Amino acid sequence: MDRQSPCAQRTDLLPKDQGLADALGIPDRKASLAGIQSRNAPVGVFDSGVGGLTVAREIMRQIPEERIIYFGDTARLPYGSKSKDTIVRYSRQVIRFLKTKNVKAIVIACNTASSYALETVQAESDIPLIGVINAGARTAASVTRNGRIGVIGTEGTIGSGIYTEVIRKLRPGTEVIGKACPLFVPLVEEGLLHDSVTDEIASRYLSELKGKYIDTLVLGCTHYPLLRSTLGRLMGEHVTLVNPAYETALELRKLLQDHGLDRERDAVEDGEKYQFFVSDLAEKFTDFATAILPNEVRETKKIDIENY
Ligand code: DGL
């Protein structure tokens, strides 16, 4: 395999006049492309907000040597109730921002953005890019015993039908039952992880799935792993909960190795190993991130994503 091929310099994509681009506040794409061949460059991870930290956390656990640039689009959350066109536009902007940080690969941690935009942005990208759907679908298809799988997610993810499509390709004949659970995201954002209100809403959403005799439930939204104990209790022990974040981290490790982009173990650390950016409410994000990540998050920078 040509180990450099995914990172080939696309000079045809560079602006003709970066001076003009600078004056207009357009990011320096030449600078962003110059560094992407380095295997010691960071990995970009993005989500509509804090939920993607469940994926970043898994990457930190499974491939601790990798550096991460995380972006949470807190100004434009939720993605789950927006149209495909909007999510593709948002995803392109975020990818342009991450590239200014010289990332060597990008993980779309958001299920909705993975459902709606992955295929499009992957085709446009000169660096490797993965989403979370394949990982979740693969795990679910391999763990189900009775071939009946439930998937919960945002309206966008469930409406796209992508989990059903991918699971059935992997395991034809599987019964896949999707259920949108739009209230879970605000409950998590409010920190109501263990609360009677969350219990009540979850039991209403899940009652439909309980009657379908599923033995596997995909947590098809970044926020839902944070409700794992409630969901597990309500579904019962016989239902295996699948968190796509775990498999995504393993998939990323393999992807980096396959492309010769895995970080050298003795690489010199320069600057913060994990950097966090949001489009709004940086302090709130810092508090949330510190609560769910293994290490304290010292700083989150706010950027204007509409400039990208
Ligand atoms: N990150 C989104 C997802 O995984 C959930 C939050 C939102 O709707 O933006 O689908």
Structure tokens belonging to residue 171? 């395991």
Range with the poorest average pLDDT among 7-16, 63-72, 125-134: 7-16
Name the one residue in this structure whose structure tokens are 């992508």: 162
Q: Which atom of ligand 1 is nearest to the CA of 222?
A: 4
Q: Which residue among 160, 221, 227, 305 has the greatest number of ligand 1 atoms within 8 angstroms of its CB, and so is best to mutate?
A: 221
Residues annotated as catalytic are: 110, 221
pLDDT, residue 35, reads 42
Pair 169, 198: CB distance under 8 Å = no
Q: How confident is the model at residue 271 (pLDDT cuts 50, 70, 90)?
A: confident
pLDDT, residue 159, reads 97
How far apart are the CA of 268 and the centre of ligand 1, in A?
A: 35
How far is 75 from 82, CA to CA, in rounded Å? 14
Mean pLDDT (the chain, rounded): 89
How far is 304 from 274, CA to CA, in rounded Å? 20
How far is 248 from 107, CA to CA, in rounded Å? 8
pLDDT, residue 37, reads 58
How far apart are the CA of 138 and the centre of ligand 1, in A?
A: 20
Task: Name the residue with the closest Cα to ligand 1, atom 7.
Answer: 78
pLDDT, residue 47, reads 98
Q: How confident is the model at residue 191 (pLDDT cuts 50, 70, 90)?
A: confident
Q: How confident is the model at residue 301 (pLDDT cuts 50, 70, 90)?
A: very high
How far apart are the CA of 101 and the centre of ligand 1, in A?
A: 23
| Residues at CB less than 6 angstroms from ligand 1 | 47-48, 51, 77-80, 110-112, 153-154, 157, 185, 221-223
Name the one residue in this structure whose structure tokens are 């796509």: 244
pTM of the predicted protein model: 0.86
Mean pLDDT of 98-123: 98
- Percent of the chain whose predicted confidence (pLDDT) is above 70: 88
Residue 266 has pLDDT above 90, yes or no: no
How far apart are the CA of 109 and the centre of ligand 1, in A?
A: 9
Backbone dihedral angles phi then psi of residue 178, each to the nearest 5 degrees:
-95, 145
Name the one residue in this structure whose structure tokens are 């966008």: 156
Return all residues near 135 (Cβ < 8 A) that are at least 6 apart. 244, 246, 247, 248, 250, 251
How far apart are the CA of 260 and the centre of ligand 1, in A?
A: 31
Q: Which atom of ligand 1 is nearest to the CA of 157?
A: 10
Residue 250 has pLDDT above 60, yes or no: yes
pLDDT tens for 148-183 read 999 999 999 999 999 999 999 999 999 999 999 999
How far is 67 from 265, CA to CA, in rounded Å? 12
Structure tokens belonging to residue 258? 């396959």
Task: Name the residue with the closest Cα to ligand 1, atom 1.
Answer: 110
Q: How confident is the model at residue 34 (pLDDT cuts 50, 70, 90)?
A: very low
Spell out a b/e string for 266-280, using b for 16 or more CB atoms within 10 Å of the CB, else e. eeeeeeeebbbbbbb
pLDDT, residue 268, reads 78
Q: Which atom of ligand 1 is nearest to the CA of 80?
A: 8
Q: Which residue among 83, 84, 91, 110 has the greatest number of ligand 1 atoms within 8 angstroms of its CB, and so is best to mutate?
A: 110
Q: How confident is the model at residue 241 (pLDDT cuts 50, 70, 90)?
A: very high
Q: How confident is the model at residue 71 (pLDDT cuts 50, 70, 90)?
A: very high
Amino acid, res. 93: Q
Q: Which residue among 46, 71, 86, 112 has the greatest number of ligand 1 atoms within 8 angstroms of its CB, and so is best to mutate?
A: 112
